[in-house]
Amino acid sequence: MDTKWLVAALAILAGLVLGILLSRIARSVLSSEKRPRALQASAKPVASLFFSLAFIVGLVVALGVTNETALEQLPKDVVAYIPRVLSAAIVLIGANILGAVITTLLEQSLGHVSASMRRRVPALARGIIMAFAVLIAANQIGIDTQILTLAAASIFFSVGLAAALVAGLGSREVAAELAAGRAVKRLLSPGDMVAYESTAGRVVNLHSVGLELETGDGRMVVVPHSDLINKAIQIERAEPIADEDAAT
């Protein structure tokens, strides 16, 4: 094996090892609990930047060993390319900090919603911010972003369509329960005994989308109105219904 190729391989390996060490040091320093939250959020991208720079140095050394002519032209290309890389790095780091700030604000303002929503909404907002940042950074570097833009647009359109379908189908089910509830409220009143299939109990309350029953063992059961409408039920009135025809 030619010596220069061995030296080039060692240079690349050294760049990888140095990049891993620098990235771990940067992440450890920036992710410390003593640091502001914005700096903690930027620990990962800064660590990736240090790793990339060290790896690039290893590649440059390997290129100089294997092809001196290409290395002579490389400084001019690098000098012309550095501003683009710096611009892209600034965009990504800034977007990551902005995403952390937006995430914090959303988590504080969504305290009244469920835990799953408190996780999903901030994560979605941060993902959208980072997606636009990646497109801008790629454009700064000189990558043709037309395909990336179309892909991102198709993804956002698919997510929006799926959300609209889920919301529409969910609203349809709720509307059906509300309609069934109006019919059930004409048939039942609190205190009535209801039995259907293996469920039986006394009506405690009639909610918008369900009937609250107290079973014989003291448990509370909520039965959807649609179950009562679609199945045969037995009703024992709390008070007998007066028979007007029998009145004398």
145-174: pLDDT as tens digits: 666 666 666 666 666 665 565 545 545 555
The last residue of one of the domains, among 144, 165, 198, is: 144
Do residues 70 and 189 both lie within one domain? no
Do residues 89 and 168 both lie within one domain? no
For position 226, which CATH number holds? 2.30.30.60
**Domain of 174?**
145-248
149/132 Cα distance (integer angstroms)? 9
Total domain count for the chain?
2
Do residues 99 and 9 both lie within one domain? yes
With tokens 């959020």, the residue in question is: 41
Complete DSSP assignment for 23-76: HHHHHHHHT-TTS-HHHHHTHHHHHHHHHHHHHHHHHHHHHHHH-HHHHHHHHH
214/226 Cα distance (integer angstroms)? 19
Mean pLDDT of 31-57: 82
Do residues 125 and 150 both lie within one domain? no
Do residues 126 and 90 both lie within one domain? yes
Within 10 A of 190 (CB to CB), how many other CB atoms are there? 11
Do residues 110 and 150 both lie within one domain? no
Do residues 120 and 97 both lie within one domain? yes
Do residues 155 and 134 both lie within one domain? no
The last residue of one of the domains, among 144, 164, 187, is: 144
Do residues 134 and 167 both lie within one domain? no
The last residue of one of the domains, among 144, 160, 183, is: 144
Mean pLDDT of 172-196: 72
At residue 21, the pLDDT reads 92
Contact, 224 vs 207, CB < 8 A? Answer: no
Do residues 63 and 127 both lie within one domain? yes
**pLDDT, tens digit (0-9, with 9 covering 90-100), for 45-102:** 888 888 888 888 888 788 777 776 766 666 676 667 777 778 888 888 888 888 888 8
Using 50, 70 and 90 to split pLDDT, how confident is the model at 242? very low
**pLDDT, tens digit (0-9, with 9 covering 90-100), for 119-139:** 777 888 888 888 888 888 877
Do residues 18 and 109 both lie within one domain? yes
Do residues 31 and 136 both lie within one domain? yes
